[in-house]
Structure formats: structure tokens, C-alpha cells
Amino acid sequence: MKLRHVILVLAATVSAFGVAAFMPTQEGGDIPESYAGRPMVPINPSTATMESVRVQIGEYRMAIPRRYLDAPIEKDDQAETFLTEDGFYRTTGVFMITELPDLTPRTPESFEKWRKHAGWKNSRWINVLLQRNRKIGNAGPSDAMFKTYSRMRESMDEFERKGTLHGLEWLSHPSGIDSFVKFEDRKRTVFISCSRPNHVPMPSCSQFIAPRPTLNVKVTYSAEYLPRWQEIETKVRARIEEFIATAG
């Protein structure tokens, strides 16, 4: 497979979700609704509180404050039931929005600022898509394509090697995509894909992280924050571990 095709797969955008109103029960829980025949828990980020939603993504359980979430929680198609006996929603993943530098969730005030801010230019917001890996065991999606150092080298003919930038190997493609990678012991440990300023008006980067076996994370942020890729990865990993620890 050509590396060009791999990049396009890795940089695929997240499907848009409709946002429904949050419906509390008398006990303070959620009433699962149905959207296009799929069970879901609606999320309204403009009025959400710091109350946590308990989710189970694959084998991992997490308690995530509602203010992080920006899309309904949908049932995992492979799960027999949506809600576990002890109150966790089984889902394939969640979509979150958080703010640099501390990865804080939106407040009602900052939500208005976020809503009015168009595009990635001068944006401190980052998108975090957290999913279970459904296809290739404990390797991330890019690990399947770039399984070995030699295989990646064999498929880099269409890329121009630009040297190093921010401690990463810099590969440039004529399509307007720059890729930044790092290998340790012949294993790919970092993969970041960025659009270039001369190709799009507001360039962004997508960074792929595997914080736990069978968990994949795609983090998208303004390209101006590429120099802080290590800080972003460290904080995203820490926040996910916090969600897992809070779930008990």
C-alpha cells in the first residue's frame, strides 16, 4: 500500500454527530434515546455540568465529565446491552473538546467563545477522539500500516525527506500533507499528520496516540502547536488515565 493512501486513511475526519438535549431522570441518570435506530445518550455541551458519564470502551471503564463531551454516546454494536448492570454505557468511543494548556473542559462561558471561533487559526481548542481498536489487536491503526521500519522506508518514494523538526523526522508530500514520525528500536512511536499553510487557510495537525492496549486516540489541534506535541501527548495520556482511575 502506498504511503499516500495510508496518510489519507489516518487523517480521515470524524463523522459529524447531531446534538440532542440532555434528558435527566428523577434519579439524575440518563434516558437513552434512539437516533437512526441506534441507542444513544444525548449530550448538550452548552449546558453540561461536571457530572461524569460512565462509559466502557472495550475493556476500559472511564468516568468522563460531561463538559468534555461534544457528541452523543452511542451503543457499541458488538455489545449485547447498552448499559451494564453497574451503570456503564458500552460504546466504541467518545468525542471530546478541551482547551490548552491544561486540557480543561469547556464552561458555559468558554463554550460561547468556542462556538464563535471559526477554524483552527489562533485556536487553543483541541479535539480528542478516543476509540477502542476493533481491527488489529493492541496496535494502533498506523502501526498496522507501518509495522516495521523497513516497510515504511520501502513506501516513502513519493515523500521528500526534509530532515528533522521538533525532534521528529519530517516527510513532505506534494498533496500538501507533512508527516512527522519517530522510530525507536525500529518501531514507530510517533505519527503526526499536518496540513501545510500554503495549501489550506487554517492548517491543523492530527496526532495519533495509543495510551493503552486496544485504545486509540486521535488528537487534532492548530498546526501552531506542533512544537508542543510532546506536552500534548503527555497531558492527553494523563487525562485518560485520570478518567480510568476515577471510574474505580
Give residue 36's region: left, alpha or beta (phi > 0; psi -120 to 50): left
Give residue 130's domain range. Answer: 3-12+93-247
Domain-located, residue 45: no
Domain-located, residue 112: yes
Residue linked to cell 440518563: 30
Residue 216: predicted pLDDT: 92
CB 42 within 8 A of CB 19: yes
Domain-located, residue 201: yes
Phi, psi of 111 (to 5 degrees): -60, -40
Who's near 151: CB < 8 A, 6+ residues apart? none
- Which of residues 186 and 74 earns the better pLDDT score? 74
Half-sphere exposure of 15 (CA within 13 A, CB side): 6
First to last CA, the chain: 42
pLDDT at 126 over 60: yes
Domain-located, residue 46: no
Domain-located, residue 67: no
The 8-class DSSP code of residue 82 comes to: S
Q: What is the pTM of this model?
A: 0.75
CB 11 within 8 A of CB 62: no
pLDDT at 200 over 70: yes
Half-sphere exposure of 26 (CA within 13 A, CB side): 0
pLDDT, tens only, 142-162: 443 333 344 444 455 677 888
The 8-class DSSP code of residue 67 comes to: G
Domain-located, residue 31: no
pLDDT, tens only, 34-44: 555 668 888 88
> What does the pLDDT average to over 26-48?
64
Total domains, the chain: 1
Domain-located, residue 194: yes
**Residue from 133, 132, 130 nearest 144 by CA:** 133
Beta strands in 43-200 (DSSP E): 52-57, 60-65, 73-74, 89-91, 93-99, 125-132, 160-165, 168-172, 177-184, 187-195
